[in-house]
Amino acid sequence: MKFAELPLPPLVQKGIEETGFTDCTPIQEKSLPLALSGKDVAGQAQTGTGKTAAFLIALFTRLLSQERSGTPQNPRALILAPTRELVVQIEKDAQTLGKHTGFTIQAIYGGVDYMKQRDALKAGADVVIGTPGRLIDYLKQKVYSLREVEALVIDEADRMFDMGFIADLRYILRKLPNYDKRQNMLFSATLNTRVMELAYEFMNMPEKVSVTPEQMTAERVEQVLYHVSRKEKFPLLLGLLRKEGMARTMVFVNTKREAEFLQDRLRANDFPCRVISGDVEQRKRLKILEDFKDGTLPIMIATDVASRGLHIDGVSHVINYDLPQDCEDYVHRIGRTARAGAEGKAISLADEDGAFYLEAIEDYIKQKIPTEWAEDEMFVHDYKRSKPRPHPEPKHPKKGGRGEKPRSGEKPRSSGKRRPAEGEKPAAAEQAAAPAPSTEGGQPAENGEAAAKKKRRRRPRKKPAADAPQG
């Protein structure tokens, strides 16, 4: 099916044409006719299949077909997403597809521009795209109201459960108009029992649409697995980077600590790279993503915060330096390459720990990952070792407190006691604190008062002697 065959407004068709879309993907072909007719849709499809464009086209069509009935300050449509990166990506696609619709689109997410986003939301926006946390923050401040929302979209609903957002999600959904007074769309990579319970609770008899191919992973991704020991992982990674000539590569690890360690070692061996994780400041994360997209940064090391929702053209290789503990994350990770019909390669390194996750991953994707054995010449053993990161200095007590070290060139502070001048007798308190004079036997003499203050020692109790045997 082509987009030109769908009953879309000219303003939406114009945005689709400028984007370059002509043919519908399977999920778009199944969900768009239902959504355009006004029905609620719960769609399931793998990553990178055009779910975002599907709900944006349906949402813009609905808003254009109805006149605004409420106040201009409150949003007409709400799109909920689990991560900041996904919110930014959806907003970018919305600005492109809805370029000619005249709708005001505002992204709301944590980490940046608190007052700027607050003022923009208060001024009014037709479409609001956000993460649950900050949306609830502004909602409790009564910056905006959700009572006039005409369309709701929940993206990556299964991820909402995984990240613990379900309580926040339910709080927001209860602030919306009744489910029969708005159109609801839910899209996710998996429609498990928890997600469908949410759909039946807050949606109006949703039509379930599933596009699940026999092969869970993208068809154009070439998958390779290397069994390697933990000590040989980095030498093999260097060999692969030099051999493959990877122009734009994403390296996935399981922990932030491993990501920073890998970044230091790659930089020491002249491989420019940056780390993106949940702890990185939002401004830095966006700057890293922009540098990676425009080719300034060839290698990006990431935790699973970047495994979903990011559409980056031209990612040639994805490397699982650590195999994911969740089998679904494997599909999302390698889905960062071979997007929009392109080809890509996914390389996984299975060490002693990662081998335990391999069976579950292969069961989930319903195929064996092709295994290759690394030759000796692929390992780089003469690499430069990175300098260890400095440990944070321990915090000293407050100035003037006990244990504080004097600064350089500064005399240590006195305890406040004055030394008696030569020939001067010490004060009475110091005399009382002074030790008693020694006796001839070398032991300190005890007066009556000192003996009374002396701690009493308990004598150990003697065990009763056993009864003597009778003779």
Q: Is the pLDDT score of 97 beyond 60?
A: yes
Residues of the chain with pLDDT > 90, as a percent, come to: 43
Mean pLDDT of 305-334: 82
The pLDDT of residue 188: 83
Mean pLDDT of 138-144: 94
- Size (the chain), residues: 471
Helices (H) then strands (E): counts for the chain:
16, 13
Distance between CA atoms of residues 202 and 197, nearest Å:
9
Q: Is the pLDDT score of 65 beyond 80?
A: yes
**Which of these, 229, 241, 226, 249, lies nearest to 383 by C-alpha position?**
241
Q: E strands, 334-400, where?
A: 344-350
Mean pLDDT of 356-370: 90
Mean pLDDT of 86-110: 92
Q: Is the pLDDT score of 213 beyond 60?
A: no
- Residue of 425 and 264 predicted with greater confidence: 264
Q: Is the pLDDT score of 395 beyond 60?
A: no
Answer whether 309's CB lies under 8 Å from 86's CB. Answer: yes
* Mean pLDDT of the chain, nearest integer: 81
Distance between CA atoms of residues 292 and 336, nearest Å:
13
Exposed (0-12), middle (13-18) or buried (19+): which is 39, by Cβ within 10 Å?
A: middle
Query: How far is CA 379 from each of CA 143, 185, 204, 261, rounded to the nearest angstrom?
Result: 58, 49, 57, 19
Mean pLDDT of 169-184: 93
Q: E strands, 237-364, where?
A: 249-252, 273-276, 299-302, 317-320, 344-350
Sign of the alpha-carbon dihedral angle for 446, 452, 454, 460: positive
Confidence of residue 220 (pLDDT cuts 50, 70, 90): confident
The pLDDT of residue 278: 75
Q: Which of 48-62, 157-171, 446-460 has the highest mean pLDDT?
A: 48-62
The pLDDT of residue 429: 44
Q: Is the pLDDT score of 42 beyond 60?
A: yes
The pLDDT of residue 148: 93
SS3 345: strand
Mean pLDDT of 19-45: 91
CB atoms within 10 A of CB 139: 17
pLDDT digits (tens, 9 = 90+) for 268-319: 999 999 998 877 887 888 889 889 988 899 999 998 876 665 667 788 899 9
Distance between CA atoms of residues 320 and 174, nearest Å:
40
What angle, 0 to 180 degrees and rounded to 10, lies between the N-to-C axes of helices 282-293 and 84-97? 50
Reported for 30-35, long-range contacts at CB under 8 A and 24+ positions apart, including other chains, are 30/209, 30/211, 31/55, 31/58, 31/185, 31/187, 31/209, 32/6, 32/57, 32/58, 33/6, 34/207, 34/209, 35/183, 35/185
The pLDDT of residue 308: 64
Domains in the chain, CATH or no CATH each: 3-211 (3.40.50.300), 221-378 (3.40.50.300)
Range in 237-251, 261-275, 327-341 the model is least confident about: 327-341
Confidence of residue 403 (pLDDT cuts 50, 70, 90): very low
* One-letter amino acid of 245: G
Mean pLDDT of 415-429: 50
The pLDDT of residue 430: 45
The pLDDT of residue 217: 60
The pLDDT of residue 440: 45
Does the model's pTM come out above 0.75? no
Taking the mean position of all CA atoms in its chain, how far away is CA 194?
22
Confidence of residue 441 (pLDDT cuts 50, 70, 90): very low
The pLDDT of residue 404: 46
Q: Classify 244 in phi/psi space as left (phi over 0), alpha (psi -120 to 50) or beta.
A: alpha
